[in-house]
Amino acid sequence: MEISEVDYIKNQSAQYLSILKPTDKGYNAQINVLNYSELGCVITNMLKLCILALENESNKRTSIDVGLVLEQVLQLFPTDEMELLDIINEMQIKESSVEVK
């Protein structure tokens, strides 16, 4: 390859290869959602997709890598936010028990 071709490929790469961001463990790709409710819908639909794929496993015309989809669902699941909901719930239970006394 000539130098001008390499420069052209570098310029095109910088312009078009923008989805994957390098990390020390590989790459990250960002998804955009409106709010937690939409994130919940995305997770739910991905799980439903896996259920349907497993139920129709005998139909090999469309191959879905269920393991890969489930790995993505795990990464999307808002674990930290669930812990925050637990803390809020515990606070509310304590407050309710104080009000009852």
Q: Quickly state the pLDDT bin for 3 (edges 50, 70, 90).
A: confident
Domain span including residue 45: 3-100
CB 50 within 8 A of CB 66: yes
For range 11-32, the mean pLDDT? 90
| Number of domains composing the chain | 1
Q: Which residue has the higher pLDDT, 60 or 56?
A: 56
Mean pLDDT estimate for the chain: 89
Q: Give the residue with greater pLDDT, 70 vs 15.
A: 70
pLDDT mean over 48-75? 87
Question: In the prediction, which pLDDT does 100 show?
Answer: 66
